[in-house]
Every structure is written in C-alpha cells, then in structure tokens.
Amino acid sequence: MEKVIIFGIKDFAELAHYYLTHDSPYHVLAFTVHSKYLSVNKSFKNLPVVPFEEITSIYPPASYSMFAPLSPKNMNRLRANVYNEIKARGYKCISYVSSKATVFENVIGENCFILEDNTIQPFTSIGNNVVLWSGNHIGHHGQIKDNVFFTSHVVLSGHCIVEPYCFFGVNSTIRDGLHIAEGTLVAMSASINKNTEPWGVYKGNPATKGNISSKDLDF
C-alpha cells in the first residue's frame, strides 16, 4: 500500500483520513502542519503530527506521498500555496476518487478530492488540486483547471471551461458552453447563463455580478 502523509489537522483532514482508510489503496501514517499550528500533544486520529518544516527528514519524498485536502479559504489560494510548497519539497501528491463516483476514463490531476455521487461525464479533464464535494454533475467535453472548489449538487453543463481559483456554491447551475473566468465565485443556487469576468461574485437567478471582488472575501 502506498504510504501517505496528510497535510492538516482539521475537519477536511479528518474526512480525508476516513475516506483513505475505508475506501482507497492508501495507508495514512501521519499528519503534518506548519510548526506554528502544532497542537500540544502532537497527535491526531492516534497518529503523529509532525512539523512540515521537518517533513523531508522524517518522511522522505522518495518513500512517502502526500495529500493536502484543505478548505477553499481565500478563493483556493491558501490550498494552492500549500500544494506548491509540497511539490517544491519533491513529493508526489495522491488524489482520492470515491469508489462511489462515476468518472469513466477522464484525466484527473494530483491532489484532487472527489467524493461520493459525483458524475464526471466522458471527455472531461480535471486539473490539479481540485475538490468536488458530494453529488455534483460535471458535463461532457469540459475542462476544469487547477485550484477549483465545487461544493455539492452543482450542475456544470457540457463544453464548459473553468479557469483556476473558482468556487461554486451549493445547488448552483452553469449553462453549457460557458467560460468561467479565473477567480469566479458562484453563490449558492445561482444560475450562470453567460461567461463570467475574472474575480467576479455572481448571485441570483439569472445571476448578476456584484460590485465586490472575490479576492476581497474572507472565507
């Protein structure tokens, strides 16, 4: 079994540990975080938590892989920074794809977290560091680029291109053939029927662009 270290000690890390333990060929051996976030007991889920600054000497990249299932905070930029730090230290990042997801033979990148009941139709590609929470529909002949987060029950219709750093709220809907620009935030239940603008925040049905930039949101 491939040996994996999980980055993080919060909810997403706990969920990743559960999924990898119960529904994957991977064996989780430890967790890691930056040293300033280390807890007093340095243990999580009965496994060691080690400082990320020392990770290569404790779990060298030649023998261990990593997984960083972090939240979409700062429009996925925090998660992207951590992923880039991991890669700079020479690690391979695994992806978790639920056995209860329908993925066909689509290309899926590194450090993706794809949960149950997702349907990814044929001829679709998914980049690195993408999260698809449960129950999404990803239409055919589409492209999802790096550092994107889908919550749940999102419908992305066919032939769509999603640029990096986008976020899709629960029950949002995107019409076929659209270009979703970098940093687009689609709010809960919003319906997108035309191309978006970079770092725009879209709400409503049909969705309209707000005056605030998604770069300025603190979530």
pLDDT, position 211: 96
Q: What average pLDDT is seen over the chain?
A: 97
pLDDT band for 17, please (50, 70, 90 cuts).
very high
Dump the DSSP string for the chain. Answer: -EEEEEE-SSHHHHHHHHHHHHSSSEEEEEEEE-GGG--SS-EETTEEEEEGGGHHHHS-TTT-EEE-----TTTTHHHHHHHHHHHHTT--B--EE-TTSB-TT-EE-TT-EE-TT-EE-SS-EE-SS-EE-TT-EE-TT-EE-SS-EE-SS-EE-TT-EE-TT-EE-TT-EE-TT-EE-TT-EEPTT-EE-S---TT-EEEETTEEE-SS-GGG---
Q: pLDDT tens digits, residue range 45-104?
A: 999 999 999 999 999 999 999 999 999 999 999 999 999 999 999 999 999 999 999 999
pLDDT, position 62: 97
pLDDT, position 115: 98
Q: pLDDT tens digits, residue range 88-113?
A: 999 999 999 999 999 999 999 999 99
pLDDT at 21 over 90: yes
